[in-house]
Copies of this chain bind each other. A is one copy, B any other.
Amino acid sequence: MEKVQSRSECVISNVLEILGDKWTLLVIRDLFFFNKHEFKEFLASPESIATNVLTDRLKRLLQNEIIAEIPHPQTRTRKLYYLTEKGKDLLPILGSMAQWGAKYLPDLEAMQPLYERLRTEPKKVRQEIHAQLNKWEKEHLKC
């Protein structure tokens, strides 16, 4: 992986160079919480990311080895994206964001039950998420 010159020696600053972008984290959210794995699935998210931005963010996430890709088993044009171990370790960050939001953004009554459960029983929910990711990998990764 190429060295990206960092703006400071601070760990948080360097993490933000990778993650400090709305779209990047929304893609990661889709991977964790909505079981999405394809380009068109990310495109379909309600925030309506533009295609060029999505392409760019997927590229960066691949470069940073937060996600990996495999060819689609049916067609040769599509690809499947999934979280690496490094990517899966981001769950605490997303989880704490969801917990904070569940506490301080009460206007979102139509909240996905998942987020509410993340606040009330975070450990169990995180286990379920990891279980779902593992299940997908068993079905799609041969090695």
User: Which A residues have a C-beta under 8 Å from some C-beta of B?
Assistant: 3, 6-17, 19-22, 25-26, 29, 33, 45-48, 86, 89-90, 92-105, 107-108, 110-112, 115
Contact = CB atoms under 8 A, between A and B. Distances in A.
Contact of A46 (B8, B94, B95, B96): B8
Interface of A: prevailing SS: helix
Given A92-B99, A93-B93, A16 B11 contact: no
7 contacts: A6-B108, A8-B45, A9-B108, A10-B29, A89-B103, A90-B100, A92-B100
Given A25-B20, A47-B13, A111-B11, A96 B105 contact: no
A94 to B, nearest CB: 7
